[in-house]
Structure 1
Amino acid sequence: MRIVLVGPPGAGKGTQAAYLAKNLAIPHISTGDLFRANISQGTPLGVEAKSYMDAGNLVPDSVTIGMAEDRMEQADAAEGFLLDGFPRNLGQAEALDEYLKNNGLTLDAVLDLEVPEEEVVKRIAGRRICRNDSSHVFHAEYNKPKAEGVCDVCGGELYQRDDDREETVRKRLEVYHTETEPIIDYYKDQDLVVTIPALGKVEEVTKRAMDALQRGA
């Protein structure tokens, strides 16, 4: 099964992608992982991407597309994959279609995780991270520490990352609406989009997605 996962920042794409990929026994291909792997391994695409990033410039679509295509050609993706963070704009979506067509493949579904915008802002802006260990994550409303501003695990100071500030979150949402949301209409024209309400517990959202995929299978 070949799936694209889309949704705004804070919709839980990374979490759902991991669960869905495990349930479907297909690799989870995330843009972030692709960049990290290519840069750490010093591949030609990784070197090119790093040169743009070091200069403070956006990495061109051609580099991202190249990394995604290389990953989809690996043996573990022969029977399917779940794409998370790619495609992120119409140009990348068209490139993916072209790649699949040239290889005699098709997408099975585009899962659109739907979360109200104000919930997204609340989810992200409420995050608090431990300065000692970034894996210790709390939330000002949903997962409060026992003592305000103090990590329950190690006693470190909890802080709000600049990326998680409300004004930054709203800018990220604007970018999502402008760049990524148009691919939903693009895939609706191909009758591929399955909208999944993404409020609720992680396992509840995963079940909704799995049920929807099974109905469409």
Structure 2
Amino acid sequence: MTRVLVCDDQALIRAGFTTIIDAQPDLEVAGECGDGRTAVDLAARLRPDVVVMDVRMPVLDGIEATRLLAGAGVAQPVKVLVVTTFNLDEYVYEALRAGASGFLLKDAPPAQLLHGIRTVATGAALVAPEVTRRLIGRFAARIRPPRDTDGETPLTPRELEVLRLIADGLSNSEIAATLVLSPETVKTYVSRILTKLDLRDRVQAVVYAYRHGLAR
């Protein structure tokens, strides 16, 4: 059973999400709240598997709440799926940089919301390759390392090649086709990369690649 915390300042939205989630046999709503500060407090107490997080909220916005829940240095990070009305690259970028594992719009169909929760709960990232490419193209300069970065990495040459393709926004099947490997082999490489670099998901892998000068 995947436990979900719903955080949105609109009561009707929270009620809708709660109804959809609780109707699933493998999901349950652990709690709900209307601001980011309460979300952080509740997450510490309830330990949900996934937090469904709005962006614009009072007291503490969703980006800062996500950073406190899932950002770098958090001892027990919680997986966060950001769901917002605003389809702005800046919001997507800031949410992912803050540690979110996925990003959806509120007008997405219920099935997509449920798929997003399940995807994030498994430790995967919910970011379409085309979104990754667009974001990296626009914001990569902000996360590129200084010129003196040495680029040292514990990865093997093949793992480094896979990481670079992840940073290009390719899916596992696209990486498999590019490197003439089976999808299962690529999945194994991705898992090794995340483990070696102590990363949570593909989103963090993309940011890592650019921060350490490993992306092409």
TM-score strictly above 0.5: no
Q: Whose Rg is larger?
A: 1
TM bracket, shorter-chain basis = 0.3 to 0.5
TM-score, normalised via structure 2 length: 0.35
| TM-score computed with the length of structure 1 as normaliser | 0.34
